[in-house]
A = this chain, B = another copy of it.
Amino acid sequence: MKTIKQFLAEIKRGDFLPLARVLTMVENDLVGSKELLQEIQSNQDVPVIGITGPPGAGKSTLVNAMIEKLVLQGKKIAVLAVDPTSPFNLGSLLGDRIRMSAHFNKPGVFIRSIATRGSVGGLSARIIEMVDVLRAADFDYVIVETVGVGQSEIEIAGLADLTIVVLVPEAGDEIQHIKSGLMEIGNVFVVNKADRDGALSFANNLTKMLHQRKVAVPVFKTVADKNIGVDELLSWIANTRGEDKKRRLFLYTEKAFKLIQQDRMKNVEKADLQIKISEAIDHKEFNLYQFVKQYDKF
């Protein structure tokens, strides 16, 4: 069996097979994943780009078009597809993790679908760790794609350095819904399928709405399946840095707190507590605080 150091060296070199294995270990919290996570060196300079939006907005098509261009520029890209409606994610639905995609066999493009946490579509509990593993590999961008329903779009905004919200002109009907959730989290908006009727007025309305926010939020128009507008979006991304540090700091602090808590509580089993309390409350007089004091010597 390979040592952790070998694994990490291979990943650093850009080997996808060990990378996939490490991600599986980390995602499922398998034996050795903690030791592995203690050894990786995640490169904090690699930006994480979140892409979200309602189902059918063409997020995957846009990601495909972006990858195409970036590969031509010699960039290496990792994609985590959390979107259960995404064609990237077909594999996840089929029960295995290998899917077809125009880029799947391209060197320098690594695509991975990951399970969501329950029906509300929250991101996987290990997503921060998975992103850190990808940051430790030799990628220029890590893209996380998730559908903008439920709570995953809020979580992605916490995770990503830059969040792209993809909409389509038809979204005009549901603008009230969009307003409440997605409108708050995008650092940049893309009106995709911009060759459709009403695209221009939709983009204008969107721009007006976004004027209410404190920071300037650009709106790009793309026709992703015809490669229109993608260059402009990419060059904006290349020239923009989000509030990386502030966001990551929050994210890492919350995660660190949870990790410390898990570690300190790892020998406390509720089932065991319950058995002991069950014995104690058989007596007429019971004192929970005394019980806890004796249990935990605090």
Contact = CB atoms under 8 A, between A and B. Distances in A.
B264 A295 contact: no
Contacts of A38: 287, 289-290, 293
Contacts of A37: 287-289
Interface residues of A, number: 50
B248 A281 contact: yes
Contact of A264 (B245, B253, B265): B265
Nearest to A292: B259
Contacts of A257: 265, 268, 270, 273
B34 A289 contact: yes
A268 to B, nearest CB: 6
B268 A260 contact: yes
A18 to B, nearest CB: 18
B42 A285 contact: yes
A122 B292 CA distance: 25
Contacts of A273: 253, 256-257
A103 interface: no
Interface string A111-122: 000000000000
Nearest to A298: B263
A173 interface: no
Number of copies: 2
Interface string A234-252: 0000000000010011101
Interface string A23-41: 0000000000010011111
**Chain A interface, DSSP helix/strand/loop, else mixed:** helix
A260 B292 contact: yes
Contacts of A254: 270
A138 to B, nearest CB: 13
A291 B256 contact: yes
Contacts of A45: 284
Given A256-B273, A288-B132, A296-B260, A249 B281 contact: yes
Contacts of A295: 256, 260
A25 to B, nearest CB: 13
A286 interface: yes
A265 B265 CA distance: 9
A41 B288 CA distance: 9
A289 B32 CA distance: 13
A249 B278 CA distance: 6
Interface string A121-149: 00000001100100000000000000000
28 contacts: A34-B289, A37-B289, A38-B289, A39-B287, A41-B285, A42-B286, A44-B281, A44-B284, A132-B287, A245-B278, A245-B281, A249-B277, A249-B281, A252-B288, A253-B273, A254-B270, A255-B288, A256-B291, A256-B295, A257-B268, A257-B270, A259-B289, A259-B292, A260-B292, A260-B295, A260-B296, A260-B298, A261-B268
